[in-house]
């Protein structure tokens, strides 16, 4: 094998070793907040997470975790994200090396791309975006192979991979314009047929995801007209797309077994289509815009400022030093783009397309509301905001930027330092400037999600119903029950999901928390919660609510509550011979009704965790918020004596 032929493989190996060690050293040891707990629980039970269900991701995750059976389940699934990202960056290193003939540029570019904050964070927890990144890079690799070698098989493979985005995650489709560039280029010009075929696979996949038959037909026509020298290529591409999309049927099969995580319950064809089309959600259209265009662009710039020097100011608030480093690396990226254009025009256009589509294109298509931490003080207080910052949607754009940063650093080292390896050393700067803010290994902070779940699950009585308020008090609890086997007798009821008929029917089918046929009736969320509480008492179950459930919502479910650690216990009982049905608990003279023994035990455990907890500054305020909630049991004991309320009472939803 010639030295030039060995270069791409060597670059890929070096990047795999560097990033593999980096991710392993910073990998989350267990469940994290937000969707991680749901995905881990779904993989453990072969279940169906929130729409569109990501069935291929769940299946791959389950297989991987079983192969690594010697590791705790959550650690194994977190390692899957790391492995996906390592593979993606290694392939990019090989592609850049092959295109430019510069092994150091390939290594530096992929290393910088892999240590961008959003890429790194996705690589160290169980989330679908690392797997989507791996699929995106495989699409680029197969398209590049098709373009370089005029390889029909690689073109069909690229079409198949494009369609795999439907059962995995649609974010992978962002790379299709770049893939079209790579597949269509030739030394003697550009070919339109590969572009039509890949474009057709993209349109067809989008049509399936949007449940639009006209769009599916349009995509199929585009594939058919891309007839190549081998007449079977369009037919093979269509069959490949159909095979890829068939992975959606995993949900239909699994839902009929009613796994513990069964969001949408796609056990029928109509329910399956509801899940695929995300009909449970109010999906934003391109128009009207949910936020001003300048603000959506500002969000992208805000997220860009987090990518290369987060440890200098590990919060959403920018600092002079962090912004200065960000601007400096933007200029290095521009220089790297210039160097890349001189080295290989085809891959330069592809990466430029990826940068544009992964930033401005994503912002335009998703039409997000103002970011969770952006626009305050500028927008009216009533302006809608996203539930969390969505920097992970723009990962592919940041990957493109990182590739150019690495190439620019290598070129700078050669020209100004006269030492080729200097650029490679400089490529480690983003990793150094991000490490302290990205590292997920710090304990007990890393254990906070599961500790909070334990506290909330251990307090209810046997066979109790526990009302929860949203993602961060639902998903860690699902993980604790499905994976760790903690308090599986407790029924968690997620209040926001009660508006969905499938969820009410699940509670009726599994636990008889609605009267027969009642779940099919139209009802509001809190009306449904009241009915669940009523039926729970009929089934001789106590009902509780976590401290995250808003006081106003809690008081519409029942009139009287006692503080019970990090939960509230409904203080009503059902009397079968009572005309009114409900009997109130005895009036109490204390300003706050407290189940003292439970609160004291919970407060002791919470105090132990808090005593060891040293929270770092972070982009995500969730850990700090939960650390505040751990003080609620102790505060409840104090309030029982009658002091006036303070701000913590509002946080704990006491008042």
Model pLDDT, residue 368: 93
Q: How far apart are CA 591 and CA 560, in angstroms?
A: 13
Q: How far apart are CA 471 and CA 563, in angstroms?
A: 22
Report, as an integer, the average pLDDT of 55-72.
97
Report, as an integer, the average pLDDT of 557-581.
67
Taking 70 as the threshold, does the pLDDT of residue 104 lie above it? yes
Higher local confidence (pLDDT), 575 or 167? 167
pLDDT in tens, 493-517: 999 999 999 999 999 999 999 999 9
CB atoms within 10 A of CB 8: 21
Report, as an integer, the average pLDDT of 301-330.
96
Strand 491-494 to strand 465-468: parallel, antiparallel, or no bridges (unpaired)? Answer: parallel
Dump the DSSP string for 61-98.
HHHHHHHTTTS-HHHHHHHHHHHHHHHHHHHHHHHHHH
Cis check: omega of the bond before 88, within 30 degrees of 0: no
Model pLDDT, residue 619: 92
pLDDT in tens, 20-33: 999 999 999 999 99
State the pLDDT confidence band at 530, using cuts at 50, 70 and 90. Answer: very high
| Mean pLDDT for the chain overall | 90
Report, as an integer, the average pLDDT of 113-130.
98
Backbone angles phi, psi at 574, to 5 degrees: -95, 130
State the pLDDT confidence band at 232, using cuts at 50, 70 and 90. Answer: confident
Q: Which two structure tokens, joined as six digits, stand for 389?
A: 């910052």
Long-range pairs of 536-539 with CB within 8 A, sequence gap ≥ 24: 536/465, 537/572, 537/573, 537/574, 538/574, 539/511, 539/512, 539/513
Model pLDDT, residue 573: 46
State the pLDDT confidence band at 383, using cuts at 50, 70 and 90. Answer: confident
Measure the CA angle with vertex 361, ends 87 and 618; round to 5°: 65
Report, as an integer, the average pLDDT of 465-469.
96
Domain ranges of the chain: 3-278+300-438, 445-651
Report, as an integer, the average pLDDT of 269-283.
91
Taking 60 as the threshold, does the pLDDT of residue 376 lie above it? yes
Model pLDDT, residue 564: 82
């Amino acid at each position: 094998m010639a030295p030039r032929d060995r270069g791409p493989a060597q670059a890929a190996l070096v990047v795999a070793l560097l990033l593999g060690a980096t991710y392993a050293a910073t990998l989350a040891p267990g469940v994290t907040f937000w969707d991680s707990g749901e995905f881990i629980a779904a993989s453990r039970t072969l279940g169906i997470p929130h729409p569109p269900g990501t069935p291929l991701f769940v299946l791959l995750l389950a297989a991987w975790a079983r192969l690594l059976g010697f590791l705790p389940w959550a650690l194994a699934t977190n390692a899957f994200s790391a492995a996906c990202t390592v593979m993606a960056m290694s392939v990019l290193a090989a592609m850049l090396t092959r295109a430019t003939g510069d092994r150091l540029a390939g290594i530096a570019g992929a290393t910088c791309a892999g240590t961008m904050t959003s890429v790194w964070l996705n690589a160290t927890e169980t989330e679908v975006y690392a797997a989507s990144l791996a699929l995106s890079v495989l699409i680029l690799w197969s398209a590049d192979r098709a373009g370089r070698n005029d390889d029909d098989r690689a073109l069909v493979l690229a079409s198949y991979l494009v369609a795999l985005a439907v059962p995995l995650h649609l974010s992978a489709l962002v790379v299709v314009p770049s893939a079209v560039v790579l597949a269509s280029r030739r030394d003697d010009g550009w070919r339109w047929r590969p572009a039509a075929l890949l474009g057709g696979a993209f349109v067809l996949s989008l049509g399936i995801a949007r449940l639009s038959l006209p769009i599916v037909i349009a995509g199929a026509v585009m594939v058919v007209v891309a007839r190549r020298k081998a007449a079977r290529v369009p037919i093979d591409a269509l069959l490949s797309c159909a095979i890829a999309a068939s992975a959606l049927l995993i949900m239909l099969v699994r839902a009929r077994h009613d796994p513990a995580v069964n969001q949408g319950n796609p056990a029928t064809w109509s329910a399956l289509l509801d899940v695929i089309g995300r009909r449970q959600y109010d999906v934003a259209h391109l128009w009207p815009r949910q936020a001003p265009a300048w603000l959506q662009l500002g969000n992208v710039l805000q997220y860009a400022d987090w990518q290369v020097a987060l440890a200098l100011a590990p919060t959403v608030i920018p600092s002079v030093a962090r912004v200065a480093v960000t601007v400096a690396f933007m200029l290095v990226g521009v220089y790297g783009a210039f160097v890349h254009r001189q080295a290989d025009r085809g891959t330069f256009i592809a990466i430029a397309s990826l940068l544009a589509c992964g930033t401005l294109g994503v912002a335009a298509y998703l039409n997000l509301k103002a970011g969770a931490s952006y626009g305050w003080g500028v927008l009216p207080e009533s302006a809608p905001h996203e539930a969390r910052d969505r920097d992970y949607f723009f990962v592919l754009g940041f990957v493109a930027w990182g590739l150019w940063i690495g190439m620019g650093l290598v070129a700078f080292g050669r020209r100004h330092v006269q030492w080729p390896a200097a650029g490679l050393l400089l490529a480690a700067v983003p990793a150094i400037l991000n490490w302290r803010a990205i590292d997920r290994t710090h304990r007990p902070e890393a254990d906070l999600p599961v500790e909070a779940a334990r506290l909330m699950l251990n307090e209810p009585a046997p066979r109790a119903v526990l009302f929860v308020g949203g993602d961060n008090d639902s998903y860690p609890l699902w993980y604790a029950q499905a994976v760790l086997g903690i308090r599986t007798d407790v029924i968690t009821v997620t209040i926001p999901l009660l508006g969905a008929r499938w969820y009410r029917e699940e509670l009726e089918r599994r636990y008889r928390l609605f009267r027969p046929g009642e779940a099919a009736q139209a009802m509001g969320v809190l009306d449904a919660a009241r009915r669940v509480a009523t039926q729970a008492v009929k089934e001789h179950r106590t009902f509780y609510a976590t401290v995250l459930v808003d006081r106003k919502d809690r008081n519409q479910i029942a009139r009287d509550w006692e503080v019970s650690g990090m939960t509230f216990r409904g203080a009503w009982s059902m009397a079968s011979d009572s005309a009114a049905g409900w009997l109130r608990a005895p009036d109490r003279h204390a300003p706050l009704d407290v189940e003292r023994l439970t609160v004291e035990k919970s407060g002791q455990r919470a105090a132990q965790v808090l005593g060891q907890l040293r929270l770092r500054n972070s982009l995500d305020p969730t850990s700090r918020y939960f650390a505040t909630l751990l003080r609620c049991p102790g505060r409840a004991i104090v309030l029982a004596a009658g002091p006036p309320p303070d701000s913590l009472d509002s946080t704990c939803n006491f008042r």
